[in-house]
Structure 1
Amino acid sequence: MKSSILVVLLGFVASTYAAALTLQSPKFTVSSPNGEQKRSEPISFTKKPSPVQLGPQDVLRISFQITEKENGAGVQPHQAFLRFYDDISGEDGVQPIRVATSGKAKFELNMARPPRSLPPTSPDSTLKVSLIVGSFVHTPLTVDLFDLIVPASQPVAPHPEEVRYHPQPAIEHTFRPEQKTPPAFISAVFSVLVLAPWVVLVGLWSQLSPKVPHLFSPKIVPFTATLGAFEVLLFLYWLDLKLGQVLLYGAGLGIVAVLTGKTALVQVGKLRKGSI
């Protein structure tokens, strides 16, 4: 069983290797727009023809048949295309070719309407034209056909928005100078002004010295704590809070200050009457 499988595999490999491809009757023709034939020659595998030159309106036609080298039977390969290669610029392009089931194929290049596969050319460009054939069951075939000289490509029309993609001037940022801190004397003066209300409050407390223990009663401490909360709120505003947040929180503290302050004033009044 193993020997029979080996024989089949060897036979398949041998048949695949033997199934080489070749071209039958390859030729090219150059004609003018009015149909006048300028040049017509067969393509030889042993001697490359002289370069083929096309004018702006000329038409190049190539015809051939792909066959098996052994028995001459026509073959429709998996793929076949012409390659145009400019060895000066390194640009190339490929043009697929439709091959019939009999292996016959034709290609036409009209310079009045050149295909997109034709690479851009300069006045000194010479395109090397080759045929590349690929098949699943045959050995690939590559044939150098001839050198082709075509008119130089026209410059590409600039796109209307091309200028938007040109290098733009560098963006330069101008930063404001660093914030200057006020002199120490000015800072000290404003610190005293901020703490002045507390000095006044301590002075008022001193007038109630006979009743100082009553200052820590539940009716007075909430008002004092509310005043301290105002100071903390202003300090946080200086650090991180926004003005809207300060106004919102300050409005809440103001309502609490009014309520606790009214109670504290009543209590202070009672203390002053008791001390008289």
Structure 2
Amino acid sequence: MFVIFSWLLLAASVQAAKLTLQSPRFTISSSNATTLRTETFTTTQKPEPLTLSSSDTFKLTFQITEEGEGGKGVQPHQTFLRFYDGVSGEEGIQPIRVTPGGKAKFELNMARPPASIPPTTTDPLKVTLILGSFVHEPVKYELFDLYIPASQPPPQHADEVFFHTRPVIEHTFHPEQKLPPTMISAVFACLVLSPWVVLLGLWAKVSPSVPHLFSPSVVPFTTLLGAFELLLFWYWVELNLGQVLLYGSLLAVPTVFAGKQALAKTGEWRQGRS
């Protein structure tokens, strides 16, 4: 029982242990290996913002230990540097390799920046160290602000313009058609019906015998002619041209046969009269 209790106390003490940084140091050098700036800083007070040019090299070294005097070096399970742009919200995560003794080194060559660096502008990147461990409390340290050259815009593809928002297509509709006055409509309706008046007048002149007008051989032909007139009126108010041609072709067949029969009967009537 005592052994189990001792192991629980040991596990609680290990779990309560915190990770800290020892001797964090950065160095900025130019392309010809000239040291431009080097400084050892603490996690409680950030150094002045760092500025890198397109040819500079940045090196960061530190050791991860357990908090307290004589803390031994610790290798966390996860160690990351986070680069965050507080204005645009862009961020990038860069893993860092740590030795079993807790020593770590990170190098950033601006001539060949890693893909983990987010797109940059003239705003600084906030650099944060994130440590994760199964046996220690996770910890996060705000290290410094870093100014690096603004990212170059990506080359524009020839078809890129077709994937942007296009202008809104606006349709211009003509005003609704105005109906003519009732008098004008009546006049033209009379003009449309006038051929029937002429036809009936000529028919009465040619055939004085009215009963022949309503004979079984003439009525179908007259009815089909009236159907053509109704079809044209229907076309005027509702149908389209294709429908008129279809219905007209269907009416044409019986009209031809009815017309032939009417002409034949009329010829017989003329011969019998003579």
Relative to 1, partners in 2 of residues 1:16 and 1:231: Cα closer, same or farther, differing over 3 Å?
farther
Residue ranges of structure 2 left out of the alignment (5+ in a row): none
Q: Is the 8 A contact 1:83 1:132 kept in 2?
A: no
1:233 maps to which residue?
231
Map 1:60-99 to 2 at 5 A. Answer: 60-69=58-67, 72=72, 74-78=74-78, 80-86=80-86, 89=87, 91-99=89-97
Please say if 1:105 is aligned against 2:104.
yes
Number of matched pairs: 259
Matched residue SS, 1:99: coil
Q: Is the 8 A contact 1:33 1:58 kept in 2?
A: yes
How far is 1:244 from its partner? 3.2
1:250 maps to which residue?
248
Q: Is the 8 A contact 1:76 1:99 kept in 2?
A: no
- In structure 2, what residue type is equivalent to 1:207? P
Q: Quick one: percent identity of the two aligned structures?
A: 47
Residue ranges of structure 1 left out of the alignment (5+ in a row): 1-6
Map 1:85-164 to 2 at 5 A. Answer: 85-86=85-86, 89=87, 91-100=89-98, 102=100, 103-115=102-114, 117-118=117-118, 120-122=120-122, 125-135=123-133, 138-150=136-148, 153=150, 156=153, 159=156
How far is 1:234 from its partner? 0.8
Q: Is the 8 A contact 1:208 1:272 kept in 2?
A: no
- In structure 2, what residue type is equivalent to 1:93? E
* C-alpha distance in 2 between matches for 1:92 and 1:248: 67
Matched residue SS, 2:177: coil
Relative to 1, partners in 2 of residues 1:17 and 1:227: Cα closer, same or farther, differing over 3 Å?
farther
Q: Given the two structures, how large is their TM-score scaled by the length of structure 1? A: 0.71
Map 1:7-86 to 2 at 5 A. Answer: 14=12, 17-69=15-67, 72=72, 74-78=74-78, 80-86=80-86
How far is 1:148 from its partner? 3.1
Map 1:186-265 to 2 at 5 A. Answer: 186-203=184-201, 204=203, 207-210=208-211, 215=214, 217=216, 219-265=217-263
User: What's the Cα RMSD here?
Assistant: 4.0
Q: Given the two structures, how large is their TM-score scaled by the length of structure 2? A: 0.71
Relative to 1, partners in 2 of residues 1:258 and 1:63: Cα closer, same or farther, differing over 3 Å?
same
- In structure 1, what residue type is equivalent to 2:58? L
- In structure 2, what residue type is equivalent to 1:258? V
> For residues 78-106 of structure 1, what are the alpha-carbon distances to aligned partners after superposition, in whole Å with 9 as ceiling and x for unaligned?
452223445xx465532312324635432
- In structure 2, what residue type is equivalent to 1:256? P
